[in-house]
Amino acid sequence: MPYSRQALGSRLTCARYASTKSVKQAAGMAGSGAAWVLGCGAYDAFVALAARSGPRGAGAPRYSGARRLRVMSRIRCGRSSPDMLRAMPQRHPGSRQAAALTLASLLGAAGLAALAWTLDPDVVQHHFSGDGELGPVTARWLGVYARVAWGLAALMGALAAAGLLRRRALERMLARSPLALPRIVLACAALALGLLGAELAVRALGWGHSSSSTNTTAARDYSHQFMQSIRIQLDDRGYRETRWDRPAPPGVGRILVLGDSFVFGFGVSALEDTFPAALERELAAGPGAPRCEVLNLGLPGADSAGEAAVLQELLPEVAPDLVLIGYYVNDCETPDEKIAFFGSRRLLPLLSDNLELISDLWRFVESEIVWQLEAAGLRITYAEHLREQALPGSDAWGQHRSDLRRLLEQAGRPAAMVIFPLLTNEDPYPLAALHEQVAQVAAEAGVPVLDLRESLDGLLRDEIQVASFDPHLNARGLALTATATARFLEQEGLVPAPP
């Protein structure tokens, strides 16, 4: 039976995703295996270097590691005598501890150097001057630490070099103690140094614990997520926009955009890459297009009730010609349900409560493990959770429907709505019914709606989102949605004309 062009395109997209997913899974498994082999190989290499300088039997030849393996294989086959292996150099009692300490020092030095290299002086000065959210003690520590990071990296590098160059002396010192306790302490110290290096390397890559906006209308739905750490300039009320508190220039229309982190531009450092800024460029691109400014009043974690409160407070002051509501599918959640779901995704909750406050490495590893469990179907996915929240007749949907109606009424006329989809590679799309329910509420209020899922159709999630564990749109995804929104407003005749 021949397929239509749309069905054939859908099947090709699914096949492309399946093949890409298989390749990525194979590459991920191969990469994980290679990393494990390299790590074990590096450790064994240090052990071998230390063992080569250990005590030898009288007249024992200097056999290499490869020679030792060949002799062992011959012994197993009965072609060599075990005395030949016993005559080879034996591992020194302190060789493992020395190798572990040297390798851990190298990891710590690399992590400290990476952190010092990427540490932004402006951020350090911001916290050191007391303008940041850190306490005064932490801010002073950060300022001092920024000045000594390179020195600490050099010190740990020197320790690693000493462990390599003076390995025999280090082995003898470690083997001299007859008690097991010093060796256990040394092993724990080596493990701590290795974890410190990994922690600093993760932080140096620019990934950290996400923090909510200081605005009281922002919900706390990202309090347990691991996302990219970027610098964003905000005003006193927590908005990225700086033009909302002054009148529009003469002859320029004004569009007010409300929404959550998708409108705010979570994960996008440049203001010009956010959805409202891209929409402003698209509206001004056409020949003879009317001039208008698009104001970004999105807040991370905001829901319909919070947006209605913002609109009630700022609508008279901003005086827009059009109110555009950016709706994301998790707006149907209550704040308690958001906190409960993201809290349930944590591994070892009793341990996570403390580790999440201090370790980016733990948050990174935990986020990746949870994502893999959800992808394998071993945990409830976010889409399944949202479907439960939006069941018609449920208390959660009834409350959200009421909040959404109040927001649409508060917006007045003219107004419009765009629906941001959940970024997923599932086929069919799991939240199509939720999109229809939201569009129906908007239609009852007389507000035109654009479903942005169509503008992103055919693209893989990795192509348009910030990162594998950050579900927000990147600059490319925001530009695509802005283009579709501009065409939608033009077709509906909602582009503000100059006053």
151 and 243 inside one domain:
no
2: in domain:
no
Query: Is there a single domain that holds both residue 85 and residue 101?
Result: no
Q: Are residues 245 and 376 in the same domain?
A: yes
Look at residue 190 in the predicted model and tell me its pLDDT: 64
480 pLDDT more than 90: yes
Q: What is the CATH number of the domain that holds 379?
A: 3.40.50.1110
Whether the predicted pLDDT of 65 surpasses 70? no
pLDDT at residue 487 tops 90: yes
Q: Are residues 484 and 427 in the same domain?
A: yes
Q: Which domain holds residue 79?
A: 65-89
Residues 163 and 251 in one domain: no
Task: Please report the pLDDT score of residue 12 as a whole number.
Answer: 33
Distance CA 300, CA 210 (A): 10
β-bridge partners, 449: 417
Residue 10 placed within a domain: no
Buried b (16+ CB within 10 A) or exposed e, 291-307: ebbbbbbbbbbbbbbbb
Residues 130 and 256 in one domain: no
Beta-ladder partners of 323: 256, 415
- Asked, for residue 38, whether it belongs to a domain, the answer is no
Does 407 have pLDDT greater than 70? yes
pTM: 0.56
The answer to whether residue 270 is domain-embedded is yes
How high is the mean pLDDT of the chain?
68
pLDDT band at residue 324 under the 50/70/90 scheme: very high
Identify the residue with better confidence: 335 or 238.
238
pLDDT of residue 479: 94
| Mean predicted confidence (pLDDT) in 279-292 | 83
Across the range 460-478, mean pLDDT stands at 81
What is the rounded distance in angstroms from the CA atom of residue 85 to the CA atom of residue 79?
12
Taking only the tens place, the pLDDT of each residue in 75-85 is 545 544 455 44
199 and 234 together in one domain: no
pLDDT digits (tens, 9 = 90+) for 137-195: 555 555 566 667 777 778 877 877 877 777 677 666 666 655 555 555 666 666 666 66
Residue 135 belongs to some domain of the structure: yes
255 shares a domain with 332: yes
| Closest C-alpha among 199, 209, 207 to residue 111 | 199
Order of strands across the sheet with 415-420?
292-296, 253-258, 322-328, 415-420, 449-451
> CB under 8 Å to 479, separation ≥6 — which residues?
273, 278
Q: Considering only CA atoms, which of 412, 413, 411, 431 is closest in space to residue 421?
A: 431
What's the total number of domains in the chain? 3
Does residue 89 have a pLDDT over 90? no
Q: Which residues contact 16 (CB under 8 A, 6 or more apart)?
A: 460
Confirm whether 221 is domain-assigned.
Answer: no
Query: Do 189 and 230 belong to one domain?
Result: no
Residues 357 and 231 in one domain: yes
pLDDT the model gives residue 216 = 33
Mean pLDDT of all residues in 391-406: 88
Whether the pLDDT of residue 52 is over 50: the answer is no
- 455 vs 376, which has greater pLDDT? 455
Average pLDDT in the 324-342 region?
Answer: 76
Same domain, 437 and 485: yes
Residue 196 in contact with residue 175, Cβ under 8 Å? no
Looking at mean pLDDT, say which of 51-60, 232-241, 283-292, 345-354 comes out highest.
283-292
| Higher pLDDT, residue 225 or 490 | 490
Percentage of the chain modeled with pLDDT above 90: 18
Answer yes or no: do 394 and 285 share one domain.
yes
The pLDDT assigned to 369 comes to 62
104 found inside a domain: yes
Identify whether 3 is part of a domain. Answer: no
